[in-house]
Structure 1
Amino acid sequence: MVDSRRAAPTGATPGFARGVRAAAAILSAALAAAAGVLGIVSVRVARRVVTPAARVADTRILAVDPAAQTITLSRTDDTVLPGRYGLITGGDTGYLKLGSVLDEDALSVRRKLLTHVPPGAGVAPDAAFSGWYYERPEELHLPFSAELIGSGVGPCPAWLFPAEASGEMPETWVIQIHGRGTTRSECLRAVPVFHALGITSLVVSYRNDGEAPRSRTGTYALGATEWRDVDAAVGFARRRGAQRIILMGWSMGGAIALQVSLNSPHRQVIAGLILESPVIDWRIVLTYQAKLMGLPAPVTGLALGALASEWTTPLTRTGGPIPFDQLDVVARASELRHPILILHSDDDGFVPSDASHDLVVARPDLVELIVFDVARHTKLWNYDQERWSTAIRSWLGRHDLSRDLDSVRPEDGADGASELSGGSPDADS
């Protein structure tokens, strides 16, 4: 005998089950689609991190006054900075040197031109604001030679600025390492400071930077492979007579310098490191930049995971996983053996200074941090040249890495900012 109280539910079961299965299928498809979208976006973000890119315009030229030799730019966090800077432009003007801010409003800023712009010069509106200031080595008016340094990927171009010979101390060299997406020109600002102190400067390139040879993948490894090209420069310097070597790295160049100091077979001749706005822990930097871009946390996490994974390398095109643990120098602080000077702005805007502060806490016996504000990323020299230069001179003196500081005037290395530079160099885009 059938229980009528259970008949209706029993008869409804097939339809109900089909509905549940259909809903589950739709939900699974939606989740798979969402995961697929996240995966695609994450891979694109990962590729962007390691792919060398040309410098893009970040401001617009609103007006040029050839009579007054002034230029008006759209207002950004960088274009309002006090100090001296460069501007990468198109048209007839090429690379321009910029002086002090003359006036500003909510939308624009007018600055003094330190490169002469003749009347009638064609000026393209899009431009890139730069902290380089010097574009070419000839602008320093110091003796130099163009060199090629053999590395695992081929000959890497370098500029060598020899210091005056001195028999009073071992010959000291500084190797300058530029950052991500820039070239050797970034480092030229520092050369006069070291030259005045009797220190030879070697300004180097490394794989995939647009000047040195391309690696098989053509992508950055964020310092994990680039350090080998700089280590080849250390060997070059030793063969040329260097007895003590200082590594100076800018931004990603700081990450490269740290990897040289940790891994180089020439570690015994490395006397110290100077790091300007350095990358010390890539995960902090990339997470910070992802937030600036408005990326969801899951995308950032997946992108970092893709960069660190072996099986995703065909998608990220890195040729191998990025060893983030190896590149985290705060975690490896116990391995450091060389004194380090860090110059970093707390409002860097690109590479947060958190890891720089953390490294001082981890190794107060070796690491000294000079904190700037307002100066932003790799523009500390431009913002306050005297404080920047004094910090380096004092640190070198305390570690017996330069000649007598009393013989060096504070203005050594200045190029006469009040004078217009001659000509308009070709843009280095």
Structure 2
Amino acid sequence: MAVFERSPRSGNISAGTGTGTGTGTLPRARWLLLGAVAGATAGSVLAGATSGLASYFARQVLTPVREHVQDLEILAVVGTWPEQEIILPATLDTTAPGVYSVYFDGGRGVARVGEVTSYSPREGTVQRTVEQVYTGDLAAATRGWWGGAAYPDPAAVGLANEEVQIEVDGGTAPAWLIRAESEASTWAIMVHGRGASRAEGVRAVRAIRELGLTSLLISYRNDGEAPSAPDRRYGLGMTEWRDVEAAIRFALANGAQDVVLVGWSMGGAISLQAADQSLYRSRIRALVLDAPVIDWTDVLAHQARLNRIPDAVGQFSQWLISNKAGRLLTGLAAPLDLKMMNWVARADELRVPTLIVHSENDDFVPYGPSAALAEKNPLVTFERFSGAGHTREWNVDPERWERVVASFLSRVLGRS
């Protein structure tokens, strides 16, 4: 899933009070002194707890996902291949229409599941078709996680590809190169989201290829395939864009004249920074952003609310992320400029034709900033979806997603 994993829910932090008994009567001045000491102690405890929770939340946002939580119970797998179905607990994810992946056995196994065949609200279960088991023994699986990357690699959609290595800071980053049928002067560089992999972009490749574009599905720092950053922390787009710049450099060195950046979730934030800061920004013809992070302040506040973190603690975590004094607690090599990543405030500085596809039901990255950016900048086209979770617009309605993307890119690139 190209989304944030929820942090453990934290209860309210409160300073306890105690009562005691003593002999005699203390002078009023001494009571005031004791009260002041107790208040200062309680205040220190509360401040320390607030600081600890804020730094914990900040680290959760900034620390790369190494292991996915296997929070999906696999109740049963019935039938035999190729007529196999899977029974799962009924949730907003598992009951949504479309095609998805179930990862199991710690991610070593992956299966593609299709439409719902039966749904029992009374029992709280849903049954879906199993379209393909790519690796692992699904019948033996008991737990896993749900994902929107419907295909594990380009071969799963019948597309020939080459594994290439892109020179980045600290070494080389692997990428899939999927060439157009004929020589292409425009390449599409696919930028996955936080906690996801380059497989996220496979969903988009067929529609992009039909436009005559070559696709490059990249990895970037801290995603588990590319070299890690020295501080092993996400830059939320402020550092990762350099790996996109390296991918653009690779494309230009191998026949491309210009590029389109296609980004999901944090990959959208990365793409926006590349379009703003890269030496090759003049070669970026368009941006296609799916459920992008347009304003990190808004997303961090939303994530804090999801995790029941008090507003003051959430705001302090933002301060830790964006100030030098917070580096010791966050682990960042340098603070991140959250204002520079607020594209609603910087709307007039975005000069690249941009398509934003975003669901109004996105529960991790609210769509409000996407809509606001489109209202403020005429270069931005906003396509609102409904009924889709975070980065699941294609899954819910692939025909519409591909039609919208094709229409936008055809117009921008001057394709018939």
Give the TM-score of the pair, scaled to structure 1.
Answer: 0.87
State whether residues 92 and 122 of structure 1, in contact with CA within 8 Å, keep that contact through their aligned partners in structure 2: no
1:77 aligns with 2:89: no
1:49 to 54, 61, 64: 61
Identify the residue that residue 35 of structure 1 maps to in structure 2.
Answer: 47
Distance 2:354 2:254 in 1: 24
1:185 to 199, 204, 216: 199
State whether residues 92 and 123 of structure 1, in contact with CA within 8 Å, keep that contact through their aligned partners in structure 2: no
Distance 1:366 1:15 in 2: 73
1:244 is displaced (CA, Å) by 2.0
1:144 to 158, 161, 185: 161
Distance 1:376 1:332 in 2: 27
- The amino acid across from 1:233 in the alignment is A
Distance 1:238 1:286 in 2: 35
1:101 aligns with 2:112: no
1:362 is displaced (CA, Å) by 1.2
Give the root-mean-square deviation of aligned CA atoms: 2.0
1:151 is displaced (CA, Å) by 1.5
Distance 2:114 2:168 in 1: 39
SS at match of 1:213: coil
Identity %: 39
1:128 aligns with 2:141: no
- The amino acid across from 1:65 in the alignment is V
Match runs of 1:6-17 below 5 Å: 15-17=27-29
1:35-57 CA deviation, whole Å, 9 max, x = no partner? 11111111101100000112222
Distance 2:107 2:64 in 1: 26
- The amino acid across from 2:155 in the alignment is E
Match runs of 1:337-356 below 5 Å: 337-356=351-370
1:155 to 161, 172, 176: 172
Which of these two proteins has the greater Rg computed from alpha carbons? 1
SS at match of 2:142: strand
2:30 to 9, 15, 18: 18
Identify the residue that residue 399 of structure 2 maps to in structure 1.
Answer: 386
1:405-424 CA deviation, whole Å, 9 max, x = no partner? xxxxxxxxxxxxxxxxxxxx
Distance 2:271 2:412 in 1: 18
How many pairs align? 387
Deviates more, 1:105-114 or 1:43-52: 105-114
Identify the residue that residue 422 of structure 1 maps to in structure 2.
Answer: none
1:368 aligns with 2:368: no
1:66 aligns with 2:79: yes
- The amino acid across from 1:130 in the alignment is G
1:291 is displaced (CA, Å) by 0.7
Distance 1:312 1:91 in 2: 34
Distance 1:125 1:284 in 2: 36
SS at match of 2:413: coil
- The amino acid across from 1:272 in the alignment is A
1:63-86 CA deviation, whole Å, 9 max, x = no partner? 110244110011111110001111
State whether residues 235 and 336 of structure 2, in contact with CA within 8 Å, keep that contact through their aligned partners in structure 1: yes
Identify the residue that residue 278 of structure 1 maps to in structure 2.
Answer: 292
SS at match of 2:118: strand
Distance 1:214 1:92 in 2: 20
Distance 2:118 2:386 in 1: 21
1:236 is displaced (CA, Å) by 0.8
SS at match of 1:232: helix
Question: For residues 92 and 316 of structure 1, do their structure 2 counterparts lie closer, same or farther at Cα, with a shift above 3 Å needed?
Answer: closer
SS at match of 1:31: helix
- The amino acid across from 1:345 in the alignment is S
Distance 1:342 1:249 in 2: 10
1:152 is displaced (CA, Å) by 2.0
State whether residues 154 and 160 of structure 2, in contact with CA within 8 Å, keep that contact through their aligned partners in structure 1: no
Deviates more, 1:206-215 or 1:54-63: 54-63
Distance 2:305 2:161 in 1: 43
Gaps of 5+ in 1: 1-12, 405-429
1:123 is displaced (CA, Å) by 2.2
Distance 1:246 1:209 in 2: 21
2:220 to 206, 209, 222: 206
Distance 2:245 2:413 in 1: 23
- The amino acid across from 2:77 in the alignment is V
SS at match of 1:304: helix
1:124 is displaced (CA, Å) by 2.4
State whether residues 111 and 138 of structure 2, in contact with CA within 8 Å, keep that contact through their aligned partners in structure 1: no
1:121 is displaced (CA, Å) by 6.0
Question: For residues 91 and 41 of structure 1, do their structure 2 counterparts lie closer, same or farther at Cα, with a shift above 3 Å needed?
Answer: closer
SS at match of 2:260: strand
1:160-197 CA deviation, whole Å, 9 max, x = no partner? 1010225xxx7111000000001101111111111122
State whether residues 194 and 266 of structure 2, in contact with CA within 8 Å, keep that contact through their aligned partners in structure 1: yes
Gaps of 5+ in 2: 1-24
State whether residues 69 and 113 of structure 1, in contact with CA within 8 Å, keep that contact through their aligned partners in structure 2: yes
Deviates more, 1:86-95 or 1:387-396: 86-95
1:137 is displaced (CA, Å) by 2.4
**Which runs of 4 or more aligned residues in structure 1 lie more than 3 Å from their structure 2 counterparts after TM superposition?**
none
Distance 1:189 1:355 in 2: 25
